Structure formats: C-alpha cells, structure tokens
Amino acid sequence: MKGDIHIHSKYSPDSISEPEKIMITAKHMGLDFIAISDHNKFRLYSGDIIVLPAEEVSSLDGHILALFIDGEIQKGLSQAETVEAIHDKNGIAICAHPYRKVNGIGSKFLNIYDAIEVKNGRCMASCNSRSELLSRNTNKPRTAGSDAHFYEEIGRVFMEAEATDQESLRKAILAGNVKIFGEDLSLQGQFELYMKLGKEYVLRGFKRI
C-alpha cells in the first residue's frame, strides 16, 4: 500500500481543498491511503480510499502530527502534554517537519515521539536531511508526507508499506517498515510557495497557525 499521511483540507485555515476532492485526487494518483491532518481540527471520513483519522496539533513548541486518533487533540499544550494526549486518544505522535523555522520543534525536541517526519513536501533538502539525521540519532521510525494544502501537492511525497488495513499500517509505521518516496522542495518551488503563504498570512490577519 502507498499513501500520503500529511494533507490539509478547507478545515485548516490555510487551505481551501474540499475533502471529497482530496480523496478523488489521491485515488486518481494511485494512493491507497491518506490522512487529512487538519490544523487543530479532527473529522472522520469514509470513501473509496482509506482515510486515517488524524490532526496536526499546534503545541507550544511546534507542530505535532497525530495519527490514528479517536478524538480531537487540544492545541496550545506543551509537546510532552500533547504527545500524552495523543496516546490517550490511542494515536501515535509524529514530530512534524522538526527543523522548519516557523513551526518546527527544532532544538526543543524531546525524545518522546513514536516517529519523526523525515521528508516533508514543503521543506527544502537541508531541512529534511536534518530530520533524517534526527531520526537516526534517536532511533525513531521515519514517516513522510506532502503537507499538501493544494490539490496539485497531494502525493508529491508518499510512503509505501506492506499493509492491508489501518491496523497493519500502524504496525508497519511503528516498526519502521516503510519506504519513502518524493522530492524535496526546490528553490523555485520555495519561492512560489512562500508567495502563496505570504498572501494567506495577510488574509488571516497576520495570525500564525
């Protein structure tokens, strides 16, 4: 199975993508599973593709990806409290894009996560390389995702695992039995992305997520 576990929909303040179209687009691209991991929002989905229950949580220290959860995780907690809350909701806690300057955990990283996102479709190669090194140094399983906020970004980065359903996929991720595919963000891609993000930041009234 292959899939993209970091996708945002219109229920995130920085995306307008419709969940139904996200699922259609992902299936058209040959993905078997996705996670619609909106910022501090939790919703369940069903369709012709496996949609993992997920949320990207804004902790006090940075963004944390919560996967396989059975309820919404409160934002604004410390990273330790956030990870504990994710576990309480039967989820796995993934340190998302650790070295992104604005909302990565970075130097505040605590060795409490179930996995580390080592390739993010919106990060440059240097950022992803540091995340990969962190995974190796801490002996944590690796994950990856596009961090798509637009349809054309879906599946730009994806994972592949020998799994048949959510439970076997969960086990594969925790065991580190996944393969990662995709490209790092180019300089041109970064420029275009930052232009879009800057416009959205202004429209949000200069509010961080």
Q: Please, are residues 153 and 91 in contact by the beta-carbon 8 Å criterion?
A: no
In a domain, 163, yes or no: yes
The three-state secondary structure class of 136 is helix
In a domain, 208, yes or no: no
- Rounded to two decimals, what is the model's pTM? 0.90
If residue 160 lies in a helix (H) or strand (E), which one and from where to where?
A: strand 157-161
Question: Dmax over Cα atoms in the chain, in whole Å?
Answer: 44
What local confidence, expressed as pLDDT, does residue 203 receive? 55
Q: Residue 179's domain spans which residues?
A: 2-203
CA nearest to 63, candidates 209, 196, 207, 164: 209
The domain spanning residue 113 has which CATH number? 3.20.20.140
- 154 contacts: CB under 8 Å, gap ≥ 6: 4, 7, 22, 25, 26, 29, 31, 34, 146, 148
Count: domains in the chain: 1
Tokens of 162: 């020998």
What local confidence, expressed as pLDDT, does residue 102 receive? 84
d(CA 14, CA 69): 22
Beta-bridge partners for 58: 63
In a domain, 209, yes or no: no
Question: Which residue ranges of the chain lie beneath pLDDT 50?
Answer: none
What local confidence, expressed as pLDDT, does residue 65 receive? 98
What local confidence, expressed as pLDDT, does residue 199 receive? 56
